[in-house]
A and B are shown apart, each in its own frame.
Chain A
Amino acid sequence: MDFSLSDRERQVQELARGIARTRLAAGATAADAGAFPLSNMQALGAAGLLGIKSDPAFGGLGAGNVAYCVAIRELASVCASTAVTVAVTNMVGDMVALYGTAAQKQRWLLPLCRGDLIAGSFALSEAGAGSDAASLRTRAEKVDGGYRLNGSKMWITSGDVAGLVLVLAKTDASKGSRGISAFLVGKGTPGFEVGRHEEKMGLRGSSTVSLSFADCFVREDARLGPEGGGFEVAMVALDGGRCGIGAQAIGMGDAALRATCAHMERRKQSDRALGTDQSKAFRIADMATRLDAAWLMVLRACALRDAGKKAARECAMAKVFGSEAANFVCQEALQIAGSAALAQDHPVARAFRDVRVSRIYEGTSEIQRLVIARSLSAPR
C-alpha cells in the first residue's frame, strides 16, 4: 500500500503549482470580478495542462487521473474560475480522445490541448433536464449529409468562449437515454447562438451561458461515437468529472484553510487574551482533517481508474464528500475571519462563494448519494 505520488505526478503538480503562483494568482481578483481568464488558458495550453490525460502527440501530458486531480487542486487553490474552465476543457478533450475517430482527434484534440480553442465546453443540461439527463429535449434530426440541431441548453460552462462544444441531443425521441447522441460543434457554426450570460454567486471568471440551436447543421462526422451512444459519453464524462470536482473543491478549501492559518498567526495575541484561540484551533483541526479525508477519497477513486478498474461508487463518494468537506471548510473559515471576510474581495469570501456550486454541478450531492445507495445492493 502506497499513498505517495509518483515522480510523474509530482512533476505535474509542480508544473500546475508554478503556473498557479506566477500567473493565476495575478489575475484571480480580476477573474472574480468577472473577467474570463483568457491569458491563463493560453499559458495552461502551452504547458499541456488543458490535456492532462491526453496523448502528448495531441499536445497533452499523457498523465493519469491522479495527476489530473493533483493539478486541478493546485489551480483551484489559487483561481477557482480558471480551474473549472480547465476541468471542463480537459473533460471534453478526454471524450474526444476516448470516442473520437482519428480525424476527429486531429481536427479537435490538438488545438484544444494547445489552447488554440481557448476552452472546451460540455452542453448537456437544459432548462428542464439537469440531473435527469435522459429527459433532455434538444433534438438532432438526421438530414442529408449530417444532422440538424434544434433546442437550447442551460448552465453551460465556457459556452460563449469555447472553440468546441460537445452537445448532447436526442437523435431518437422514442428511445429515452438510448436515443441520445453526442456532437462536436465548433464555435460560429451557423444556427448556434450564445444566449444569456448568467450572473453567478461565485466562479465569476468562468462564463456560464445558455446556448440555442436553430436548424444548426452539423456534418455526419461531427457525431462523437455511434448514434445512440451519447448517454454513455455523458455518463463516462461525468464519472471522470466527479473526481475532478472533488479535487477542485478541495483546492478552494486549501485556500480558505491557508487564509485562516494566516489570520490566526496575526491574531495570536488578541485571541489568547480573549480566550478564543482554542475555539479557532479546534476548527482548524476539523478543517484539516476533513480536507485530508476528502483528498484520500479523491485519490482512491483516481487510483482505481488509473488501474483500469470500475470506480463509479468511489467517484460519487469523492465528489459528495470532497465538495461537502470543502463547503464546511469555507464556511468555518468565514466564521473565523469574521466581518472582514464579508468584503467581496476577501480571499475567504471568494472561496466561500466559489465553492458553493461544487455541491450542485456535475451531479448534485443528492444524485451522488443515490448513486452510492444504489451501488450498495451490488456485491463488493
Chain B
Amino acid sequence: MDLALSETQQMILETARRFAETELAPIAHKTDKSGEFPRKQVQQLADLGFLGIAVDEKWGGAGLDNVSYAMAMEEISAGCASTGVIMSVNNSLVCDPIGKFGNDFQKKKWLVPLAQGKVLGCFALSEPGSGSDAAGMRTTAILDGDHYVINGTKNWITSGKEADVCILIAHSDPSERHKGISAFIVDRRETPYGIGKIEDKMGIKGSSTTSLVFEDVRVPAANRLGNEGDGFKVAMSTLDGGRIGIAAQALGIARAAFQEALAYSRERQAFGKYIGDFGAIQEMLADMATEIDAARLLIWRAAVAKDNKEKFGKLSAMAKLYAAEMSQRVTNKALQIHGGYGYVKEYNAERHVRDARITEIYEGTSEIQRLVIARETLQEIAALG
C-alpha cells in the first residue's frame, strides 16, 4: 500500500495544474458562453504531450502511466471541462484503441500524429437509435474488394466537427449481432464523410457534439482495426479505459466547484459571521471534501490496475459511477452555498452543475455501470463460496 506520487507523477500534476490555472480557468467562462472550440488551448495541450499521455514514446506519446493521465484529466477539467472531454476522447477513445489493436502501419500513420496532437480524433459508436445497446447499431461496413463501403449515421460524437480521424464501429456482417461488428480508422482527409447536426448542449459547450453521416464512404480494408468481428471487443475495452478519463473529468469539475464554494464561504458574511463558520455549511463542505477524495481513490485504483495490466472493467465502472454521481452532489452543494450568486452566470457555480451532468450519461450511463458492477460482484462473491 503506497499512495505516494512518483516524481514524474508529481511533475505532471503540477504542470497540469499550472496550465489549468493560467490558461484554462480564464477562458472557461467565455468558452461556455460562446460555445467556441478552445483551439489555442488544445494546441497547448498537444505541446504539453497531454493528447497522447499514455501512448508509447515510440509512437509520439508521452509514455506515461494511467495514473498520470487521470491526474492530468482532473486538473484540466477543473480548469475547463470542455477542454477536459476533448483531451479524454483523444487519449482514451482514439489513441488507446489504435495503440492496443492497431498494426505498425496504422500506428505510424495515425497514432503518431494523434498522440502529438497534430490531428484530433473522435470515436463513433452511438447512433440515433442505439447507445448503451451498442450491438443494436445499424451502420454497416460491407466489404467490396479491398474496401469497406460504409453507410449509416453516428450520433453524439465528441469533437466530431474538428476531428480528422474517426474510430468507427460498424456492422461488417449485419446478420450477426456482437460478432458481426468491426472497428475502422476513417480518415476524413482521405475518405470524406458528412458532418450532420451540431448539438446545442446543456454543458461542456466548448466541445463540439455532432452527428456523422456516412453515405457510400469507401474505406481501404487496411484501415480495419483488429480482425473482422473484433469491433465489439475493441469498443468495450476502449470504453473501459475511457471511463477512467470521464471519471477524472467529473472529479475535476467537482473539485473546482468545491474550491470555489470553500473560498466563497470565507468571504460571504451573514448574521455577523462568515457563512463557512455555520455548522450547516461546514457539514456540506466536509461531505464534499470527503466524497471528492473517495472518488479520486477509486479512479487511481482503476488506473493502477490498468497500468498493471490487470482486469479493471469493474474498477473503472465503479470509479465512473461514483465520480459522476458525486459530481452532481458536489456541484449542486457548491451552487447552494453560493445562494443567489450560484444561480447566475456571473459565477461559475451553475456552469459546473451543467458541465457535470453529462458525466452520468456518456461513455456508459450510470445504469450501464451498475449492470457491469453487479454482474462482476455477484460472480466474485459466488466464487468465494
Contacts and interface: CB of A to CB of B under 8 A. Distances in A.
Interface of A: 1-6, 9, 66, 257-258, 261-262, 264-265, 281-282, 284-286, 288-290, 292-294, 296-297, 299-300, 302-304, 306-307, 314, 317, 320-321, 366, 368-370, 372-374, 376-377
Given A5-B1, A258-B381, A293-B294, A372 B374 contact: no
Chain A's interface: helix, strand, loop or mixed, by majority?
Answer: helix
A261 B286 contact: no
Contacts of A262: 381
Nearest to A258: B381
The list of the 9 closest CB pairs from A to B, nearest first, reads A373-B282, A285-B370, A296-B297, A281-B374, A285-B373, A369-B286, A372-B286, A293-B294, A261-B381
B322 A261 contact: no
Nearest to B377: A288
A293 B297 contact: yes
A292 B282 contact: no
A374 B286 CA distance: 9
Nearest to B323: A293
A292 B373 CA distance: 11
B318 A303 contact: no
Interface stretch (B2-10, B89-97, B104-112, B217-225): B2-10
Nearest to B301: A3
Contact of B286 (A265, A303, A307, A370): A370
B290 interface: yes
A207 B33 CA distance: 62
B379 to A, nearest CB: 9
B326 to A, nearest CB: 9
B2 A2 contact: yes
B384 to A, nearest CB: 8
Interface of B: 1-6, 9, 67, 262, 266, 279, 282-283, 285-287, 289-291, 293-295, 297-298, 300-301, 304-305, 318, 321-322, 367, 369-375, 377-378, 381-382, 384
Contacts of B289: 317, 372, 376
B290 A320 contact: yes
Contact of A284 (B1, B9, B321, B374): B374
B304 A376 contact: no
A3 B322 contact: no
A288 B318 CA distance: 9
Given A257-B381, A297-B294, A321-B294, A1 B283 contact: no
A289 B318 contact: yes
A26 B297 CA distance: 36
14 contacts: A1-B3, A1-B6, A261-B381, A284-B374, A286-B370, A289-B322, A293-B298, A296-B297, A297-B297, A306-B1, A321-B291, A366-B283, A369-B287, A372-B286
A306 to B, nearest CB: 8
Contacts of A303: 1-3
Given A2-B1, A285-B377, A296 B301 contact: yes
B293 A376 contact: no
B373 to A, nearest CB: 4
B1 A294 contact: no
Given A261-B377, A289-B318, A321-B294, A369 B2 contact: no
A281 B297 CA distance: 24
Given A297-B294, A376-B289, A2 B370 contact: no
B322 A293 contact: yes
Most buried by A among B295, B321, B373: B373
